[in-house]
Amino acid sequence: MPIWFELMILLLITYGVGIGIGWLLWGRGIVDDEGFEA
């Protein structure tokens, strides 16, 4: 397995975990302002 491929898998997993944690902490309570029309 090439080194760049291993690095890519590692970074994508880290990215996915970060996105998941971010969503859990902040993403769930956000009000969708773009759908609200005055």
- Binding footprint of other proteins on the chain (CB under 8 A): 1-8, 10-12, 15-16, 19, 27, 32, 34-35
CB of 14 to other proteins, least distance (A): 8
Q: How far apart are CA 14 and CA 9, in angstroms?
A: 9
Beta carbon of residue 24, minimum distance to other proteins (angstroms, whole number): 14
Token pair of 4, please? 């760049």
* Residue 37 CB, nearest approach to other proteins (Å): 14
Determine the Cα–Cα distance for residues 19 and 1; give it in Å rounded to an integer: 26
